[in-house]
Amino acid sequence: MGEIQAEIYLDRVPITASNFIDLAQSGFYNGLHFHRVIPGFMNQFGCPHSKDPASRRAGTGGPADGQFKNLATGGMETRSNGGNIKDELISRDSNVPGTLSMANTGSPNSGGSQFFMNVANNSFLDHFSPGQSKHPVFGKIISGYEICEAISKVPTRNDNPVTSCEDELGHDQDVSDEGCLPSDKDCFFEVLH
């Protein structure tokens, strides 16, 4: 199908961006599937339990507790309480189509590895908007947005893709989409920072 490239906002949300880049470069996202797809809303990715697209635990996991380097400051940051990072509610980038945003449980400091690609104007999810949902934007798709849109249109049942949507982040090789997209061609997501 093609390639998705994203710009990561290291200068705007350095903790969130550094966490994402660390996970991508370490291979954490390799072999994971999109576990939540809501047409006209977003595509969610990044749960380690989604390696098995039929897992009932898909959408409930995160990375291991530990540390990672803040690429903006050179200091160390912590993942704790189930691999979560502290909320970084400092940038006023909005959840508009094509942006990447941290997923969380709705509780403070509960984001870890899961993120979503907005396919609609979801400004009601902005941390600076009224309401309880607070999802900071940490990047935007700069190439391949049509693939993101295609993923958002796959058949779903209870917001889960009926066929697996496999993706891989941060490697220079193609990955089979296993029938997720309306093409037999490969889908690849590249992290640029």
Using pLDDT thresholds of 50, 70 and 90, give the confidence band for residue 5: very high
pLDDT of residue 162: 82
Active-site entry in 43, 95, 104, 114? 104
pLDDT digit string (tens) for 135-182? 999 999 999 999 999 999 999 888 988 876 544 333 333 333 333 333
Pick the catalytic residue from 41, 49, 89, 109: 41
In this prediction, what percent of the chain has a pLDDT beyond 70?
A: 83
- Going 122 to 127 to 132 to 135, the CA torsion angle's sign is positive
How many CA atoms within 13 Å lie on the side-chain side of 65?
Answer: 3
Catalytic residue among 125, 127, 169, 189: 125
Q: How far apart are CA 144 and CA 147, in angstroms?
A: 6
pLDDT digits (tens, 9 = 90+) for 65-107: 999 999 999 999 999 999 999 999 999 999 999 999 999 999 9
28 is catalytic: no
**49 belongs to the catalytic site:** no
Active site residue 114: no
- Residue 57 is a catalytic residue: no
CA distance 85 to 75: 14
Dihedral class, residue 74 (left if φ above 0, else alpha if ψ from -120 to 50, else beta) = left
Q: Concatenated DSSP letters for 54-69?
A: T-TTTTS--PPSEEEE
| Catalytic position from the list 116, 138, 188, 189 | 116
127 classed as catalytic? no
| Distance from C-alpha of 53 to C-alpha of 172, rounded to nearest angstrom | 23
Which pLDDT value is given to residue 77? 98
Express each pLDDT in 113-123 by its tens digit. Answer: 999 999 999 99
Reply yes or no on whether 181 is catalytic: no
104 carries an active-site annotation? yes
Q: Per the residue annotation, which of 12, 33, 35, 36 is the catalytic one?
A: 36
Burial class (CB in 10 A: 0-12, 13-18, 19+), 64: exposed
pTM of the model: 0.85
Choosing from 12, 33, 127, 135, which is the catalytic residue? Answer: 135
Tell me the residue type at 186. Answer: D
